[in-house]
Amino acid sequence: MRFTYVTLFPQLVEGYFQDSILKRALQSALFSYDFCDPRDYAANKHNKVDDTAAGGGAGMVMMPQPLYDALSRFDNATIIFPTPVGKPFTQNDAKRLAKKKHIVFVSGRYEGIDERVVERFADELFSIGDYVLTGGELPSLVMSDAIARNIDGVLGNRDSLLTESFETSLLEAPSFTKPAIYDGLTTPSEFLKGNHNKITALKFALSTAKTQYFRPGQLIQHNKRTTYEK
Ligand code: ADE
């Protein structure tokens, strides 16, 4: 897998890959990343990439020419535009996109990107939540991280992918480690006894309770699905 970040601010993205699991995956060549700066494609004297909005309105809009020329280079890539008006990005999208060979994330700054660029090049438009960020770099990183951990070999332990939240539409059960009592609070005693059937049953009960509390809509969906599957 190759990730390309089309951004005016590569340094905002770079730091994320310098540590931890993703650093190890990079070193093992499980994926690679590179940058493309639209300014390098600006066909004007001052390498300008933005202009005032047609029809007026606050702020500057990224103009079509530099992005058209930059994105035309990418054949056979999946081109993603992070935007608050996109489809909500989900775990299913992360799993699906982990099978692609090359993903290009196009980060807008200023008030956005001229819509013709989006029309011409976007394969998918994604939002990472109902709030507005100052640019697409953080959403691009959020999506890359979620995608990268679904690439074979990136996580040391594949089982962690199977039990985590959104895999079964129930939220993942809470985790505990030693000591058994901390600050007067105990690890559920079944977790300490080693009876795997009982541990699985307790985890399921805790998952259900957590989903009921934090995501009641998701529990209804889960129940409908499992009833239907029976
Ligand atoms: N760009 C700005 N805000 C965003 C959001 N919530 N999701 C994706 N891209 C964005």
| Domains of the chain and any CATH numbers | 2-148 (3.40.1280.10), 168-229 (1.10.1270.20)
**Residue 130 structure tokens:** 């109902």
Work out the percent of the chain whose per-residue pLDDT is above 70: 99
Q: Whose CA is nearest to atom 7 of ligand 1?
A: 127
- Token pair, residue 151, equals 């690439």
Chain segment 71-88, per-residue pLDDT in tens: 999 999 999 999 999 999
Atom of ligand 1 nearest to the CA of 83: 9
Ligand 1 pocket residue status of 112, Cβ below 6 Å? no
Q: Which atom of ligand 1 is nearest to the CA of 126?
A: 8
Mutate which of 132, 138, 141 for ligand 1? The one with the most ligand atoms within 8 Å of its CB, which is 132
Residues 15, 16, 17: CA angle, nearest 5 degrees: 95
Residue 72: which residues within 8 A CB-CB, separation 6 or more?
Answer: none
Q: Tokens 């190890």 map to which residue? A: 24
Instruction: Show the tokens assigned to 28.
Output: 């093992």
Give the three-state DSSP class for 97: helix
Tell me, using a 6 A CB cutoff, whether residue 127 lines ligand 1: yes
List C-alpha distances in Å: 19 to 14, 34, 101.
11, 17, 23
C-alpha span between 129 and 139 (Å, rounded):
9
- pLDDT value for 90: 96
Our mutation pick for probing the ligand 1 site, out of 125, 133, 137, 140, counting the most ligand atoms within 8 A of Cβ, is 133
**Which pTM was predicted?**
0.91
Decide if 66 contacts 39 (C-beta within 8 A): yes
Convert the pLDDT of each residue in 7-57 to its tens digit.
Answer: 999 999 999 999 888 999 999 999 999 999 999 999 999 999 999 999 999
Alpha carbon of 215 to ligand 1 centroid (Å):
22
